[in-house]
């Protein structure tokens, strides 16, 4: 993680307005590498840009096929005929192939993180997902990520004043946090602690949630740029998990990143909770992506 600046934010700074803080060349190079890594992450296979179709599901029975199966309940955007049918109840999903004698249990992908059971269909994969109590389905094609027009995000100007030294308070025990997703379903996270910092004479506080990898945490936040330059559901800051007893961390808002759903309607994102609304304009980091 970059070294913490001795003076992270000037008292007169108003959410990034005014003359930009000076940035050294080594930091700029590191930031460019991070941005390039974000493009690679987005375009990798089967990554986020590989999602080409999706839908919601209620308990029931659905016929599954491609563009050649005109009567299929679930039609995938590939030139295949009927594939079989999907059976779904409140807790389980099963697929019965057109020539199969018995159903195949489908382990759902949990919030598009755990891969679950994937069915190979043409040059892509079909799978079911579960977000809170709701079920859905996804179809991905590896080549779609390479063909996508995405070449990188637009960014706010780099400003050293948005590299903020924040006081870290670890909780004695992780606390649960339930947030809503972009489709209105509840999603539970584990919070290891919170960070507090000052901007323009006012203290702000953000709570961290653990990431699945276990060695990093994420701060979800929204601010006055949401829907006016940055993504309307908020943005995220990913930070290394502090060591035991560590009291200070760096929040580098120049690395504020868009959520997974910023590039595709086929993914669901957690919404920044109301208490993570910063009453200032964080003019740093990634801007909302708009296809040319």
pLDDT of residue 13: 35
pLDDT of residue 131: 78
**Beta carbons within 10 angstroms of residue 106's beta carbon:** 21
237 belongs to a structural domain:
yes
258 belongs to a structural domain:
yes
Q: What is the pLDDT of residues 116-145, one digit of tens each?
A: 999 999 999 999 998 777 899 999 998 887
26 belongs to a structural domain:
no
Specify whether 168 is located in the same domain as 101.
Answer: no
pLDDT of residue 292: 56
Specify whether 111 is located in the same domain as 169.
Answer: no
pLDDT of residue 186: 85
70 belongs to a structural domain:
yes
Q: What is the mean pLDDT of residues 212-240?
A: 94
Specify whether 142 is located in the same domain as 181.
Answer: no
Specify whether 264 is located in the same domain as 227.
Answer: yes
- Model-wide pTM > 0.75: yes
pLDDT of residue 20: 60
58 belongs to a structural domain:
yes
**Spatial separation of the C-alpha atoms in residues 109 and 225, rounded to whole Å:** 32
Domain containing 81 equals 50-147
Specify whether 259 is located in the same domain as 239.
Answer: yes
pLDDT band, residue 86 (cuts 50/70/90): very high
Specify whether 131 is located in the same domain as 60.
Answer: yes
Last residue of a domain, one of 127, 147, 167: 147
85 belongs to a structural domain:
yes
Specify whether 164 is located in the same domain as 237.
Answer: yes
Specify whether 164 is located in the same domain as 257.
Answer: yes
pLDDT band, residue 45 (cuts 50/70/90): low
Higher-pLDDT residue of 47, 156 = 156
Helical (H) or strand (E) element with 116: none
- Total domains in the fold of the chain: 2
Specify whether 126 is located in the same domain as 168.
Answer: no
Contacts of residue 22, defined as CB under 8 A and 6 or more positions apart, other chains included, come to 160
Q: What is the pLDDT of residues 169-205, one digit of tens each?
A: 999 999 999 999 888 888 899 999 999 999 989 999 9
Higher-pLDDT residue of 221, 3 = 221
Specify whether 129 is located in the same domain as 56.
Answer: yes
Specify whether 236 is located in the same domain as 201.
Answer: yes
**Spatial separation of the C-alpha atoms in residues 63 and 95, rounded to whole Å:** 10
Contact 162, 134 (CB under 8 A): no
Specify whether 166 is located in the same domain as 270.
Answer: yes
186 belongs to a structural domain:
yes
Query: Is it the case that residue 29 has pLDDT exceeding 90?
Result: yes
21 belongs to a structural domain:
no
Q: Could you check whether the bond before residue 46 is cis, i.e. omega within 30 degrees of 0?
A: yes
Last residue of a domain, one of 90, 116, 147: 147
Q: What is the mean pLDDT of residues 213-222?
A: 92
Closest CA to 162 of 211, 245, 221: 221
Mean pLDDT of the chain: 88
């Amino acid at each position: 993680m970059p070294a913490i600046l001795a003076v992270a934010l000037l008292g007169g700074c108003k959410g990034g307005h005014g003359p930009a803080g000076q940035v050294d060349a080594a930091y700029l190079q590191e930031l460019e590498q991070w941005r390039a890594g974000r493009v690679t992450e987005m375009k990798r296979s089967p990554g986020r840009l590989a999602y080409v179709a999706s839908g919601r599901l209620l308990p029931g029975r659905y016929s599954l096929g491609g563009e050649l199966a005109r009567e299929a309940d679930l039609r995938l955007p590939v030139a295949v005929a009927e594939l079989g049918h999907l059976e779904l109840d409140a807790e389980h999903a099963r697929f019965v192939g057109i020539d199969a004698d018995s159903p195949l249990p489908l382990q759902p992908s949990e919030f598009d993180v755990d891969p679950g059971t994937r069915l190979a269909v043409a040059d892509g994969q079909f799978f079911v997902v579960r977000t809170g109590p709701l079920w859905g389905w996804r179809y991905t094609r590896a080549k779609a990520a390479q063909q996508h027009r995405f070449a990188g995000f637009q960014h706010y100007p780099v400003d050293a004043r948005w590299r903020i030294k924040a006081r870290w308070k670890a909780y004695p025990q992780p606390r649960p946090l339930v947030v809503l997703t972009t489709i209105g379903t509840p999603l539970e996270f584990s919070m290891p602690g919170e960070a507090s910092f000052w901007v323009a004479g006012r203290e702000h506080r953000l709570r961290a949630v653990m990431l699945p990898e276990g060695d990093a945490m994420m701060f979800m936040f929204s601010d006055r740029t949401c829907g006016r330059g940055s993504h309307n559901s908020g943005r995220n800051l990913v930070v290394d998990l502090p060591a035991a007893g560590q009291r200070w961390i760096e929040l580098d808002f120049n690395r504020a990143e868009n959520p997974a759903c910023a590039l595709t309607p086929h993914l669901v994102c957690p919404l920044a909770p109301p208490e993570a609304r910063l009453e200032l304009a964080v003019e740093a980091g990634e801007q909302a992506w708009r296809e040319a």
